[in-house]
Structure 1
Amino acid sequence: MSSPTSFEASEFAGAITDVAGLKVGHFTHPDAPTGCTVVLTPDGAVAGVDVRGAAPGTRETDLLAPGNFVQQVHAVLLAGGSAWGLAAAEGVMAWLEERDVGLDVRYGRLPIVPGAVLFDLPASGGRIRPNAAAGRAACDAASTAPPAEGNVGAGAGALLGKLFGAQHAMKGGIGTASVTVGGVTVGALIACNALGDVIDPDSGEVIAGARTEDGRRLRDTRRALLAGGLPRPLLAGTNTTIGVVATDAVLTKVQANRLATVAHDGLARAINPVHTMSDGDTLFALATGRVPLGDAAPGMTVLSTMAAEVVARATVRAVRAARSIEGAAGLKFPGRADWSPAP
């Protein structure tokens, strides 16, 4: 009996909301393929970040450095809309402040909301993008239920495989996964808008990415480049995979930053090429501290392995759940959920 793919196996199911202390909400714009996603940590969470892409769009990442003052965050924003989409964080902050959630700064409670954006303008057209109202709506929708995957939230307008031109790209999306070992859970939420192809790490199969000239087959970007294929000129920052990896373990800021670093190994397993000059790949790490790391609990080596694994799985799920859309300028972007390459 053949082994199932990483998307089909029940042991690979799960969601970032399996991590105690988190809620996730999406806002998907009704008039254009764009949106935002919020991961709420109302009781606070120790956080870290690692930015690997060369063209990031982020906010409040410096404060996550281990030597800096702030110790906990109260939400993480993932959004489309390129840098304009960072405005959605204002709505998240206002929503949290109204509920008295934030860092006590004597004159009020200041919600700490790091965030990152991806460039979804080829799909959305750029005139409609997430704003403060979108951030509020994502918070209103947040729950502990498994979040929807595919063409929702920050993944609504995500694309992938644009190295040979947007006309050959496919639909990206947002996905989630979790794994539990020794009573400790690690989960991931990934919005995949990659320049490269997405690959199932278990089978090595390219499951979505740049298509051939006739649009009926997958080109296999890695092999095409190594065979001398020439990529199209690209604007920096027009791609990017962003996400959150979270655990219920007790971690320090140093450990949380390390977890964000090794979580990128999961992107490297599932995306090729990755961390390019045109990507702003950014991963946040959250530790809600519900499970102490005692002698019998997994240590950082196991947690790191779990983090890379769930990031890879969530990336694959994001793409397998993506459905076809028509983007700006009439371009059609097939999604793997309703498209199969010709034999």
Structure 2
Amino acid sequence: MKLTTLSAALLLATPVLADDWTAYTYSSVSTTSAVKGMTRITERVAADSDLKIDLHLGKTLQIASSDITQAVGDGIIDMAADFFFSGTVPIARVLNLPMLIENDDEWAKAYAAMEPTLVEAFAGQGVVLLGGYRYPEQTIFTTFEMGSLADLKGHKIRVTSPEQGKFIEEFGGAAITLSGSEVPTSLERGVIEGVLTASAGGAKNWHEFLPYNYRFAVNYGNSMIIANADRFAALSPETQQTLRAIVAEEGPATTAAFLEDEAAQKAAQSAAGMTLVAAADGDVAMATEKLAPFWQAWAEENGSAYVAALATVRAAIGK
């Protein structure tokens, strides 16, 4: 139904006070650092402004994980934490290229250099990028024993991006994409024989199916905290600033919580019987050499903006 001129005018004249937002996170487990961080954001915003945010966990709304950014841009939801944004904003995947970013310091430099590009890219989807957080390094969890990357050959590994898939394929493995809910059954049935994840990520839920962890950092995964551009613009300047300031604090706090949980989960998983194997000497240098040509090919295949983004990141980290 179309609004009448009078009703539209009345709506436009009504100030946004004590407004209610709907927020969504891909994570369905309330005890994860990701959900705890988003919960703190909603609680602090409610306490410090007139904005009330109702947070929904993953699978409680009819929104596919891969569609979260689009759902925010379309106004279906007002705010979200999105780990699966790469299909909607693919240029952001430059930060997730395997072997490109190898430690916390490089991540911080790369993200800072890429942030203006990310803000613009998300704006193109009708979305305001407020901030985000990062998971610990994605390592290799398997049902079979590994002593080096060569042991991936012939095995089926679940990945969460085409770039991770390229890494697995470089070492003779088969990359398979599955939703998180499919992983336990797929491991039991042998559909997959391993996953790329973090100890404080997927392995926190799937460790009983994964007796081995090869501690080789393939790449980093991160989540973006976003809001619908129109809904954000309708907030008062004071509420906008409050929301931005809280996300700017809670994003890094969530990253720190993940890093702390990573150490705790590694210890717990080892105590429960998981075999943790350090990366073999030479594997990092060898993998970096093998994957470096892929970075440039990936960028060139996607266009000049990607080439520029990759150059920005490489310059920032000196690689």
Q: Same fold (TM over 0.5)?
A: no
Structure holding more helix per residue: 2
What is the TM-score of this pair, normalised by structure 1?
Answer: 0.24
Structure holding more strand per residue: 1
What is the TM-score of this pair, normalised by structure 2?
Answer: 0.25
The structure that has the greater radius of gyration is 2
